[in-house]
């Protein structure tokens, strides 16, 4: 397998690249200084030179609070950048990494067929980024969410629910998906684990984390962005014994 990866130096890129290299895959993951996703010409040249089977688009603006003040940078990365990646990916399978935040969080356990309804600026740009990705032939939008492998904060929300997990956990799921990508026959997939509170997730690796609430947060925090992952579990059951 020959794969071109954007955002390879980020949390997920740093976790997934060594796993794929161990399998003997050829990975081309230029830094943003070498090739910016905001430069269509440079990006197209880099992808053409790499001739990948798959383009894994991990690069994104992810600071939810800062995005409320820095609209231009967030839009440029998440919308225009994704549009450029989709255009540059012609001839390769595009796997576009999106987020649970495309939903407003008012109900939870969202299915792949549910319509996105963003509730802050970051989530708006990610929803628009999904639409940009759909311009690529045979694209796959993967909605997921992952946290640093070590919970660094003294507090976690007890009143926000999620299907997110730690980076190493989601990386294992993503690795399995990429190994069997040719068998994926859908255009959207929720690659997450079970529903739980952010506090519950945090305390799995740091039992001393205290309960907090979304009240007073600098940006609107959707209450329940948990995702229905039954489609992924059904797919995973076919191949997990082969990993």
What is the Cα–Cα distance from 243 to 239, expressed in whole angstroms? 7
- Report the alpha-carbon distance of residue 176 to residue 126 in Å, rounded: 24
The full DSSP string for 140-188 is EEEEE-EE-SS---SEEESS-EE--EEHHHHHHHHHHHHHTGGG---SE
Identify the active-site residue in 61, 101, 110, 122: 122
* Helix or strand (DSSP H, E) at 28: strand 26-28
Query: Taking the CB of residue 187, how many other CB atoms lie within 10 A of it?
Result: 14
Whats the size of the chain, residue-wise? Answer: 243
Tokens representing residue 39 in the block:
């430069």
Dihedral, CA of residue 140, residue 75, residue 29 and residue 191, to nearest 10 = -40
Helix axes 81-88, 40-50, angle to 10 degrees: 40
Tokens at 41, concatenated: 């010409």
Coil, strand or helix: which one is 99?
strand
Least Cα distance to 27 among 63, 59, 56, 65 occurs for 56
Q: Is 161 a catalytic residue?
A: no
Q: Looking at the annotation, which residues are catalytic?
A: 122
């Amino acid at each position: 397998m020959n794969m071109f990866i954007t955002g390879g130096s980020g949390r997920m890129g740093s976790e997934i690249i060594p796993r794929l290299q161990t399998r003997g895959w050829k990975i081309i993951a230029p830094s943003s200084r070498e090739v910016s996703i905001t430069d269509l010409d440079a990006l197209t040249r880099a992808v053409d030179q790499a001739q990948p089977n798959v383009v894994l688009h991990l690069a994104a603006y992810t600071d939810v609070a800062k995005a409320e003040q820095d609209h231009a940078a967030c839009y440029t990365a998440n919308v225009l950048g994704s549009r450029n990646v989709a255009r540059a990916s012609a001839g390769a399978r595009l796997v576009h990494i999106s987020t649970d935040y495309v939903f407003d969080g008012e109900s939870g356990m969202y299915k792949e067929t549910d319509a996105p309804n963003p509730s802050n600026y970051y989530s708006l740009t990610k929803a628009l980024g999904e639409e940009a990705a759909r311009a690529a032939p045979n694209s796959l939008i993967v909605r997921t969410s992952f946290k640093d492998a070590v919970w660094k904060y003294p507090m976690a929300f007890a009143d926000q629910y999620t299907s997110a997990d730690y980076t190493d956990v989601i990386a294992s799921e993503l690795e399995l998906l990429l190994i069997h990508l040719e068998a994926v026959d859908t255009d959207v997939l929720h690659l997450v684990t079970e529903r739980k509170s952010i506090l519950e997730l945090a305390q799995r690796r740091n039992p001393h984390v205290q309960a907090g609430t979304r009240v007073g947060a600098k940006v609107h925090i959707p209450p329940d962005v948990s995702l229905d992952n039954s489609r992924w579990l059904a797919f995973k059951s076919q191949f997990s014994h082969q990993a």
